[in-house]
Amino acid sequence: MRSRRSISDIVAVVLLIVIAIAAAVIIYMWLSGLIGSVHTSTSATQVKLEITGASVTLLSNGNYTVQATVYNPPDSPSTSITLGELEFTNGTMICSNTSGIKVTPSSISPGQSATVYFICKPATTAPAGTPVEVVLVTSQGVQVSYTTSVS
């Protein structure tokens, strides 16, 4: 009888150790998931980019040149522009450009302004005086727009 009792004591200790390790792993996984969701990379809700002015010019070759001044507030993270679009005010796309966008400086730091410039070839043209929206998309996927007219 004595030998059985010692075996059950050993089994009980091993089970307690296994339960303690399992609990520690579960708590670690829960905390790492919680901390991971709090400290994510820059989210779209943190980017507060503003277009402070824009001009759209119809060139003689039928292309549009778009120039916009963008401001990144001090409480917003650094960002860059990846897409420029020109739309009618009803949301219909006139043209877009992903490859020829020039941003000076290339990354817009908090509290800094930048000039965004791109040329796009429209599927349909808008005559001078037509109200249009300049839409810029950041590397985080945030869309900002500014209404102006074609000159």
Report the predicted TM-score, pTM, of the whole model to 2 decimal places.
0.68
pLDDT of residue 55: 92
On whether the 44-149 domain is CATH 2.60.40.10, my answer is yes
pLDDT confidence of residue 3? 53
Helix (H, G, I), strand (E, B) or coil at 77: coil
Both structure tokens of 47? 């980017």
Residue 18's CB is within 10 A of a number of other CB atoms, namely 10
Q: Which residues contact 42 (CB under 8 A, 6 or more apart)?
A: 77, 79, 140
Cα gap 117→59, rounded to integer Å? 14
CB-based contact 117:102 (threshold 8 Å): yes
Query: What's the mean per-residue pLDDT of the chain?
Result: 83
User: What is the per-residue pLDDT across 102-135, written as a single tens digit (0 to 9) for each?
Assistant: 877 778 888 999 999 988 888 777 888 889 999 9
Q: Residue 39: pLDDT above 60?
A: no
Measured in Å, how far apart are the chain's first and last C-alpha atoms? Answer: 100
pLDDT at position 2 is 54
The domains of the chain are located at 1-40, 44-149
pLDDT class for 37, splitting at 50, 70, 90? low
pLDDT of 54 higher than 90 = yes
- Owner of token pair 């001090």: 74
Could you read off the pLDDT of 58-98 as tens digits, one per residue? 888 888 899 999 998 888 888 888 888 889 888 888 888 87
